[in-house]
C-alpha cells in the first residue's frame, strides 16, 4: 500500500521520517516548501529526510496514495476534509490529531465519517513526542480502526510499535482529554502547588476522562491503555508537551506563544460544555476553562477544587 502524510508539522514530519526510514516510499505534503530542503528546518530541525521520503506541496499528487495520515491541527481537520473530500473519497484516512472540534463537539473519527462517508476512518494516538519518533527512539501507539490488522502491519516501523483497537471513540477521547489535564498540571506546578498536587490532578483528571468517555460510549479498558493513561502520564510530566508547557506559562503569569498549537484549549471548552449539558461532573475541565477565560485566578481555581464536598473515591 502507498502512504502519504498530509501536514508537515513536527508530528507529521516525524511520522513520515519513521515510515520512510524502513525503505518504503512515503510522500509528505506541506503547504509551504520553504525550509524543507533535506529536513524540516522550521518544525523539526536536525532530522534528515530518508532517501525514500518525497516532499511535495501538491495535494492532488500526495492524495494518490491509498493510505493518508492526516496530521493537521484538530481545529483545522473539518474544513480541510470538507475542502478536499473528493480527493479523499474511498481512501483510508488516519487522523493523527488529538482533540475535540470546538464548533461541533465532534472527534476526528466522526468528522471523517460524516465528511468523507466512502473513506475508511482510523485514529493513531498515544504517548509520543515528534523528536523521539524522528530520532528513531522506541515509541508505542494505539491504532484504532474497525478492521485494522492490515493497517497495523502497514504503519508499524522498526521504532514505532502499534497496538490495535476497534474502539475509535475511546482512543480519540483519551488523546483529546489528557491535554486538558496537562494544562491543569502545568498551571499547578508553575503556581508552586507541588508534585503531590500534580499527582492528584492526574488521578482525578483520569477519573474525569473515564466519566466523559463512558458517556460517549467508549470502552472503559481503552482509557487504561496507551491512548488514555499512557498519554496522560507523558503529557502531564514533560515540558516537551505543548499543553503542559502552556499550563506552565499560565501558572507563571506569562503570555504563551500564539503560534504554537495547543489542542487542550479548545478541547477544554468543548468537553466542559458537553459535560454540563449531560450533567457529567468535570471540575478540572471547568477550572481550566475558567482560567483560560480569565474568570478566576490561579489561586481561586485551587481553592475551588480543594473546597469541593468530601466524598468517597
Residues designated catalytic:
178
92-95 and 39-40: which strand pairing?
unpaired
- Residue 2's nearest CA partner among 34, 26, 21 is 26
Helix (H, G, I), strand (E, B) or coil at 243: helix
Q: Yes or no: say if 274 and 105 are a contact pair by the CB < 8 Å rule.
A: yes
The three cell numbers locating residue 194 = 507541588
Q: Yes or no: say if 177 and 202 are a contact pair by the CB < 8 Å rule.
A: no
Report the number of secondary-structure helices (H) and strands (E) in the chain: 14, 10
Distance CA(36)–CA(47), nearest Å, equals 11
The three cell numbers locating residue 165 = 483497537
Q: Yes or no: say if 136 and 157 are a contact pair by the CB < 8 Å rule.
A: no
Residue 199's Cβ-count burial label (10 Å; 0-12, 13-18, 19+) is middle
Burial 250-277 (b: 16+ CB within 10 A, else e): bbeeeebeeeebbbbbbbbbbbbebbee
- Residue 249's nearest CA partner among 269, 267, 264 is 264
What count of Cα atoms within 13 Å lies in the side-chain half-sphere of residue 288? 33
Distance CA(277)–CA(261), nearest Å, equals 27
Residues 6+ away with beta carbon under 8 Å from 199: none
3-6 and 67-70: which strand pairing?
parallel
The three cell numbers locating residue 245 = 508547557
Amino acid at each position: 500500500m502507498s502512504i502519504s502524510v498530509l501536514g508537515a508539522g513536527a508530528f507529521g514530519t516525524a511520522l513520515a521520517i519513521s515510515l520512510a526510514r524502513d525503505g518504503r516510499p512515503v510522500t509528505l505534503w506541506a503547504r509551504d516548501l520553504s525550509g524543507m530542503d533535506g529536513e524540516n528546518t522550521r518544525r523539526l530541525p536536525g532530522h534528515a529526510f530518508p532517501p525514500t521520503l518525497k516532499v511535495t506541496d501538491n495535494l492532488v499528487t500526495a492524495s494518490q496514495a491509498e493510505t493518508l495520515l492526516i496530521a493537521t491541527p484538530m481545529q483545522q481537520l473539518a474544513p480541510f476534509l470538507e475542502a478536499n473530500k473528493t480527493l479523499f473519497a474511498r481512501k483510508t484516512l488516519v487522523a493523527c490529531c488529538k482533540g475535540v472540534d470546538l464548533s461541533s463537539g465532534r472527534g476526528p473519527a466522526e468528522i471523517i465519517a460524516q465528511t468523507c462517508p466512502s473513506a475508511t476512518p482510523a485514529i493513531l494516538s498515544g504517548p509520543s513526542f515528534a523528536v523521539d519518533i524522528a530520532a528513531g527512539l522506541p515509541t508505542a501507539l494505539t491504532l484504532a480502526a474497525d478492521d485494522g490488522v492490515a493497517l497495523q502491519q502497514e504503519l508499524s516501523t522498526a521504532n514505532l510499535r502499534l497496538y490495535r483497537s476497534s474502539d475509535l471513540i475511546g482512543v480519540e477521547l483519551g488523546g483529546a482529554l489528557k491535554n486538558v489535564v496537562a494544562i491543569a498540571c502545568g498551571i499547578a506546578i508553575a503556581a508552586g502547588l507541588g508534585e503531590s498536587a500534580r499527582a492528584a490532578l492526574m488521578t482525578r483528571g483520569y477519573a474525569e476522562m473515564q466519566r466523559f468517555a463512558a458517556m460517549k460510549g467508549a470502552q472503559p479498558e481503552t482509557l487504561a491503555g496507551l491512548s488514555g493513561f499512557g498519554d496522560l502520564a507523558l503529557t502531564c510530566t514533560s515540558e516537551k508537551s505543548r499543553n503542559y508547557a502552556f499550563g506552565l506559562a499560565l501558572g507563571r503569569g506569562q503570555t504563551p506563544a500564539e503560534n504554537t498549537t495547543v489542542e487542550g484549549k479548545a478541547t477544554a471548552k468543548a468537553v466542559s460544555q458537553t459535560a454540563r449539558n449531560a450533567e457529567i461532573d468535570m471540575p478540572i475541565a471547568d477550572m481550566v476553562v475558567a482560567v483560560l477565560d480569565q474568570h478566576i485566578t490561579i489561586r481561586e481555581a485551587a481553592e475551588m477544587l480543594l473546597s469541593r464536598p468530601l466524598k468517597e473515591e
